[in-house]
Amino acid sequence: MSPGRNPDAVIELTHIGKSYYIGRQQEVPVLTDINLTVMKGEFVSIMGPSGAGKSTLMNILGCLDRPTKGSYKLDGSEVANLSDDKLAYTRNRKIGFVFQSFNLLPRLSAADNVILPMIYGNVYKSDRRKRAVEILTHLGLGERVDHMPNELSGGQRQRVAIARALVNDPAIIMADEPTGNLDSKSTTDVMEIFSELYQSGKTIILVTHELDVAGYATRHVILSDGHISKDVRGPLP
Ligand SMILES: Nc1ncnc2c1ncn2[C@@H]1O[C@H](COP(=O)(O)OP(=O)(O)OP(=O)(O)O)[C@@H](O)[C@H]1O
Ligand SMILES: [Mg+2]
């Protein structure tokens, strides 16, 4: 552990910046000087206008992309400059990521989509299907394990995607507008799952446009124009 590190911090972003480049010359700064520490067991919502940089930030947090400057410590280890392979390894071990558009593989059944991350994890082959069925059943999809994604409703697909995110038992769950494509009943179902995960001690970070979704979180970060303009703990301001 590095000196001065807060042992309860799971995520420490210091002076994080992200720019895209158009051609060789033109820099488009998207995130500027993001400083954010997330403690173990927090439930954080990230809100802000379209184009503010929320997805860019989530992709960095979720080890799907790297910052162009600054430091990102995940569980005390620097990940800002890891190679693609090491980044993918870290992501698979520590983070479950849920996307707005589910990102299920269309030719695999619900169970096989959930089995996929276990192939790169450390679950014995003979245990994989059992574990996938268990977790799908827990999320109310026991009758649907052998359905293909196009045979499932949006809410059911998102629950499969959540099962896939949880199957390697990551300590951190991240989600970018997980209810963005769902009706209000499915939104409530999905948010009840996130609440239960929070109660069980997981750290959760989620981007949303919806106030009632953000209301489930216990800390609220507002991103405007690539920087954090507000960061409050407790109920929604
Ligand atoms: N690959 C890229 N190349 C160039 N610019 C990009 C790229 N990806 C994102 N951007 C720009 O970065 C800015 C932030 O995008 P981002 O997707 O992070 O916003 P967001 O806050 O998630 O918005 P939304 O609420 O609409 O999802 C936008 O202006 C976008 O055009
Ligand atoms: Mg976005």
Question: pTM of the predicted model, to two decimals?
Answer: 0.93
Q: Is the CB of 96 under 6 A from ligand 1?
A: no
Order the strands of the 172-176 sheet from edge to edge: 95-98, 172-176, 203-207, 43-47, 219-224, 227-233
Name the CA radius of gyration of the chain, rounded.
18
Q: Is residue 151 one of the residues assigned to a domain?
A: yes
Q: What is the separation of C-alpha 50 from the centre of its chain, rounded to a whole number of angstroms? A: 18
CATH of residue 107's domain is: 3.40.50.300
Q: Distance, CA 175 to ligand 1 centroid (Å)?
A: 16
Q: Is residue 213 one of the residues assigned to a domain?
A: yes
Q: Distance, CA 51 to ligand 1 centroid (Å)?
A: 5
Q: What is the DSSP letter of 201?
A: T
- What gap in Å lies between CA 19 and CA 60, rounded to an integer? 12
Residues with CB under 5 A from ligand 2 (ion): 54-55
Average confidence (pLDDT) over 29-48: 97
Q: Is the CB of 26 under 6 A from ligand 1?
A: no
Mutation test residue for ligand 1: of 26, 28, 30, 177, the one with most atoms within 8 Å of CB: 30
Q: Is the CB of 222 under 6 A from ligand 1?
A: no
Question: Average pLDDT of the chain?
Answer: 94
Q: Distance, CA 69 to ligand 2 centroid (Å)?
A: 21
- What gap in Å lies between CA 147 and CA 124, rounded to an integer? 23
Q: Is residue 75 one of the residues assigned to a domain?
A: no
Average confidence (pLDDT) over 119-143: 92
Best CA proximity match to 5, nearest among 40, 57, 44, 46: 40
Question: What pLDDT sits at residue 7?
Answer: 74
Residue 8 pLDDT class (50, 70, 90 cuts): confident
Average confidence (pLDDT) over 186-210: 95
Q: Whose CA is nearest to atom 17 of ligand 1?
A: 55
Question: What pLDDT sits at residue 140?
Answer: 94
Range of the domain at 139: 41-60+83-233
Q: Is the CB of 18 under 6 A from ligand 1?
A: no
Q: Distance, CA 57 to ligand 2 centroid (Å)?
A: 9
pLDDT at 1 over 50: no
Q: Is residue 125 one of the residues assigned to a domain?
A: yes
* HSE (side-chain half, CA atoms, 13 Å) at 111: 15
Structure tokens at 73: 């410590």
Residue 3 pLDDT class (50, 70, 90 cuts): low
Q: Is residue 77 one of the residues assigned to a domain?
A: no
Cβ–Cβ < 8 Å for 28, 22? yes
Mutation test residue for ligand 1: of 34, 54, 60, the one with most atoms within 8 Å of CB: 54
Residue 223 pLDDT class (50, 70, 90 cuts): very high
Number of domains in the chain: 1
Question: What pLDDT sits at residue 4?
Answer: 56
Q: Is residue 67 one of the residues assigned to a domain?
A: no
Q: Is residue 23 one of the residues assigned to a domain?
A: no
pLDDT at 34 over 50: yes
Mean pLDDT is lowest, of 34-48, 49-63, 113-127, for 113-127
Q: Is residue 28 one of the residues assigned to a domain?
A: no
pLDDT at 157 over 90: yes
Q: Indicate the SS3 state at residue 66.
A: coil
Average confidence (pLDDT) over 129-152: 96
